[in-house]
């Protein structure tokens, strides 16, 4: 993996209408499974959607957003994020492939868990983040565009019922050939994010 992909990767929100070869998706998934994980639990599971299967998933997400807007909300203090979630749904519809990310060891974020399970959940989520980053960087190397999506949280009940999964829905990655070349977004300086005690 070229170090350069870390710096050239961008979040893509516009995609070319072009089918993705399955071998490219498999290459992304293969790099994801090689990520480090806490206690080698490898808590990730990936469900790849395309075509009519993806369209059905999109309808589920839309139902969840409508429910949230109606006031029957699972995330009432996050209502300010609904316009962005609607835009995310448009992006999902444009991308040819959507990869759903699941924590196979996790449970719904809407049920309480004890401190031990919370620490395990945090460690597994960090592990999944590493796997997703591997996917994103591999996609960049392959000339693909990706968008790491967390707005699935607004439609959590609808999506998990549709997916019929054991585990915790973490989010999704939209994948396709990019139809834009966004500029680099601002980043905090090293001084702002680090402290040396040496």
pLDDT digits (tens, 9 = 90+) for 26-77: 999 999 999 999 999 999 999 999 999 999 999 999 999 999 999 999 999 9
| Size (the chain), residues | 198
| Confidence grade of residue 2 (pLDDT, cut at 50, 70, 90) | low
Work out the percent of the chain whose per-residue pLDDT is above 70.
98
pLDDT above 60 (res 1):
no
Identify the sign of the CA torsion 68, 71, 77, 79.
positive
Residue 142 to residues 42, 54, 93, Cα–Cα distance (Å): 24, 22, 22
pTM: 0.95
Of residues 4 and 97, more confidence is placed in 97
- Angstrom distance (rounded) from CA 172 to CA 3: 24
pLDDT, position 165: 86
Tens-digit pLDDT profile for residues 69-122 = 999 999 999 999 999 999 999 999 999 999 999 999 999 999 999 999 999 999
Q: For residue 130, give every residue at least 6 positions away whose Cβ sits within 8 Å of its Cβ, in sequence order, or none.
A: 35, 36, 37
The overall average pLDDT reported for the chain is 96
pLDDT of residue 194 exceeding 60: yes
- Decide: 135 and 28 in contact? Cβ < 8 Å: yes
DSSP 8-state assignment for residue 178? B
CB atoms within 10 A of CB 129: 16
Count Cα neighbours of 52 within 13 Å in the Cβ-side half-sphere: 0
CA pair distance 92, 63, nearest whole angstrom: 15
């Amino acid at each position: 993996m070229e170090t350069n992909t870390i710096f050239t990767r961008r979040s893509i929100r516009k995609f070319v209408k072009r089918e993705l070869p399955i071998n490219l998706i498999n290459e992304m998934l293969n790099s994801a499974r090689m990520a480090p994980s806490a206690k080698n639990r490898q808590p990730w599971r990936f469900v790849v959607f395309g075509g009519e299967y993806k369209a059905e998933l999109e309808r589920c997400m839309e139902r969840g957003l409508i429910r949230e807007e109606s006031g029957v909300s699972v995330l009432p203090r996050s209502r300010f994020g609904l316009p962005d979630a609607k835009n995310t749904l448009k992006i999902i519809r444009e991308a040819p492939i959507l990869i759903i990310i699941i924590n196979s060891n996790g449970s719904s974020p809407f049920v309480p868990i004890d401190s031990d399970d919370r620490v395990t959940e945090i460690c597994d989520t960090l592990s999944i983040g590493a796997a997703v980053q591997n996917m994103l960087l591999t996609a960049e190397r392959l000339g693909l565009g990706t968008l790491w999506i967390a707005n699935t949280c607004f439609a959590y009940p609808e999506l998990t019922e549709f997916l019929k999964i054991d585990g915790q829905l973490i989010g999704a990655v939209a994948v396709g050939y990019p139809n834009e070349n966004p500029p680099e977004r601002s980043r905090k300086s090293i001084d702002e994010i680090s402290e040396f005690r040496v």
